Structure 1
Amino acid sequence: MTDMTAQFEAAVANSKLLPAKPDNDTLLKLYSLFKQATTGDVQGDRPGMMDFVARAKFDAWAALKGKTSDQAKQTYIDLIESLKK
């Protein structure tokens, strides 16, 4: 396991221990960064217009297309660190 992966896994665990629940935009960013880091570029079809949550998640993830796993992991780690303060 690389150092980056260990830091990422620690950040994921820390995300559940934040002092306050992040706002919806931040939660969406965390979701998309996690998916990009663990799965890669978005897959599947874009959800329909009436499925607002799934569509927002899909669009946020799709916006990260081309970002490497390590880049997404580092951004996720940095975001969690900023939320811990």
Structure 2
Amino acid sequence: MSLEEQFKTVADSVRNWKSKPSDSENLALYSLYKQAVFGDVNISEPSGIVEKAKYKAWVDRKGMSQDDAKKQYIEMAQKLQSKYA
């Protein structure tokens, strides 16, 4: 299975977890997902509190390759799977 296929499979499974990860885990997964799919941040900073936290988490991934973000997302999701799936 290619990295892209593995990433899509894992991302789909994360969406179907029975319970939600902690805020910090969720932000980490979110920022890795955004970096993997879109690369470096390509939007202006939003104004809402939650949106700003998500934006900052994504900005912190700036410069990370999309493949590295996919690999880290897969690793993190696999570690959290038993806890939330």
TM norm structure 1? 0.88
Which residue identity does 2:30 align to in structure 1?
Y
Say if 1:18 and 1:83, in contact at 8 Å, map to a contact too: no
Ranges of 4+ aligned residues in structure 1 off by more than 3 Å: none
Structure 2 unmatched runs, 5+: none
The aligned residue for residue 21 of structure 2 is: 22
Within 5 A, what are the aligned runs for 1:42-81? 42-48=41-47, 51-81=48-78
Higher helix content, 1 or 2: 2
CA displacement, residues 14-33 of structure 1 (integer Å, 9 cap, x when unaligned): 10233532011111111111
Q: CA deviation at 1:46?
A: 1.6
In structure 2, the residue corresponding to 1:84 is in which secondary structure? helix
CA RMSD of aligned residues (A): 1.4
- For 2:16 and 2:44, the matched residues in 1 are separated by 33
Q: What are structure 1's unaligned runs of at least 5 residues?
A: none
Q: Percent identity?
A: 35
